[in-house]
Amino acid sequence: MPAKTYIYCDYAAGGPPRAEVFEAMRAHAFTHFANPGAHHPLAYVAKHEMVALHERAARVLGVDSREVIFTSGGTEGDILALRGVMARRANGRDELVVSAIEHHAVLLCAEQLGREGFKVKFAPVTPQGVVDFNALRKLVGEKTALVSIMLANNETGVIQPVSEIAKVAHAAGAKFHCDAVQGFGKLPIKPREMGCDLLSLAGAKFGGPRGTGLLYNEMTNRLEPQIVGGPQEWGYRAGTEDISGQAGITLALELAEAEREKVWPRVAKIRDALEATLKKKLGGKIRVNGEGAPRLPNISNVSFIGIEGQALGIELGEQGFCVGLGSACAPGETDPSHVLRAMGLSWEDAQGCIRISFGADIKEADGERLAELCVANYLKLAELA
């Protein structure tokens, strides 16, 4: 019996590596296997290629190659940024400001820092999921060491005005970190132009290999390393470098940026058509979370009133569509989304959400079919509720 074919609609949680990326990794695994820190001809070849990969990644981001730190993913990048800045207590600053809708990599690290004696403040958001600027300004002050706000939310796709947020941080003498994991490849991302002192990326979100990431660290920043044991990655991340992984994420960066303006407007039309169908056929029985705010072109977070999103997700899975319920990194699978709760949704409405996140390969017919199935399944589940 042939394996069932699924339409994958959970790219916000991560997607497959591109074929070109996989081939680049395979080639590097067999040709650049020597330890770049050794002292013999093959080690020098590996070292030269590693330097070239840093330079290529830096060109995509418009930064200096010495500002690129390759990591194991967005989580490690976030933690190195937060702990690396806070541990230095520069100029006696010991306060961290994050938003209430950050990824759990930031939120849980912030909570841990709070238990270690740092003061952590959480900026609220509007009902559309945008950081409340008036509240943020009141939270950032002379004791603030770091402000960490994501570029685009991983659950709703809502885009934050990070350049303006960076100005708030810098006006108070604080550093600004941006978790840009969801945004790269869909939005123009140049850390310097955005006002970022630090910026995190994850390869699996834009066609790169899982287990790869990148942290931009402005050259004058000094971070406290979190993985010690050697001088690798400018002394900020010890351990023999994974040149194969670095090659994979670097090529993925280049390919994603090159096709950004061509691919995602088409995907946005499919997402918008899906939402239009749901609103037309279900009306007040649904809520598009984040609607009215700028959003990524591929994410739709919808609350289906009166049913559980998990039940809808199971039905869609049986019918060949893989959708998400929220963050794939949430600590409790049955907990309602902290993002939606911060936006003011009730417990029940937050429990009724699903997250649809398309990839570049989504077809118009698949979007239409998914919308029809959401409507049919909702009507069936609502009768059983």
Please identify every residue annotated as catalytic.
329
The whole-angstrom separation of Cα 240 and Cα 222 is 22
The whole-angstrom separation of Cα 368 and Cα 372 is 6
Nearest to 368 by CA among 280, 289, 263: 280
The whole-angstrom separation of Cα 42 and Cα 153 is 43
The whole-angstrom separation of Cα 226 and Cα 237 is 7
Q: Which element (helix H / strand E) includes 303?
A: strand 299-304
Contact 183, 159 (CB under 8 A): yes
Tokens of residue 163, six digits: 């350049």
The whole-angstrom separation of Cα 300 and Cα 289 is 8
Contact 337, 102 (CB under 8 A): no
The number of CA neighbours under 13 Å toward the Cβ of 281 is 17
Nearest to 278 by CA among 351, 347, 154, 367: 367
Contact 100, 89 (CB under 8 A): no
Q: Give the residue ranges of DSSP H helices in the chain.
A: 19-31, 41-61, 74-86, 104-115, 133-139, 162-171, 191-194, 243-282, 309-318, 338-342, 347-351, 364-384
